[in-house]
Amino acid sequence: MKLASVRVVTRDIDGMVEFYQRLSGIEPVRPAVGFAEIRFGGATLAISSEDLIKLFNAGAATAAANRSAILEFEVKDVDAVFERMNASGTNIVMPTTLMPWGNRSLLLRDPDGNLVNLFSRPKR
């Protein structure tokens, strides 16, 4: 088994795609109206409009209703990501902080309020 993707459902597909494109620097792929993918090496972040869920799986997911999952991304320089995202007015939950296990971590919220953790591992 291989984790292929995580899908975020939103009412604002364009805003979410723009946010994750700015965050990652990766050009999104839009294979269908109301659906986009940010393809990372090894996994994909899929972004779906709530309208598609209503069309094919009514009631299966509700946009902007998550308070339990955290999307986590390992980056080379978390401080640079903090500067870029902070300058764009992103909701910063926790500025770059050295965690007890050695990672430098940054917590922010995407436009729908989903929690996003970006971290850099300690240099060895």
Reported as a single tens digit per residue, the pLDDT across 37-84 is: 999 988 999 999 999 988 888 888 889 888 889 999 999 999 999 999
- Whether the model clears a pTM of 0.85, i.e. scores above it, the answer is yes
What pLDDT sits at residue 68? 87
Q: Is residue 64 part of a domain?
A: no
Give the CATH number, domain containing residue 93. 3.30.720.110
Rounded Cα–Cα distance for residues 16 and 93 (Å):
18
Q: Using 50, 70 and 90 to split pLDDT, how confident is the model at 36?
A: very high
Mean pLDDT, residues 16-41 taken together: 96
Q: 5 pLDDT band (50/70/90 cuts)?
A: very high
105 and 75 within one domain? yes
Domain's final residue, options 37, 58, 79: 58
Please indicate whether residue 59 or residue 104 has the higher confidence score (pLDDT): 104
* Domain CATH number, residue 35: 3.10.180.10
- Is a pLDDT exceeding 80 seen at residue 124? no
HEC profile for the chain?
CCCCEEEEEECCHHHHHHHHHHHHCCCCEEEECCEEEEEECCEEEEEEEHHHHHHHHCCCCCCCCCCCCEEEEECCCHHHHHHHHHHCCCEEEEEEEECCCCCEEEEEECCCCCEEEEEECCCC
* Predicted pLDDT at 17: 98
Residue 105 has pLDDT above 90, yes or no: yes
Domain around 34: 1-58
Q: Is residue 63 part of a domain?
A: no
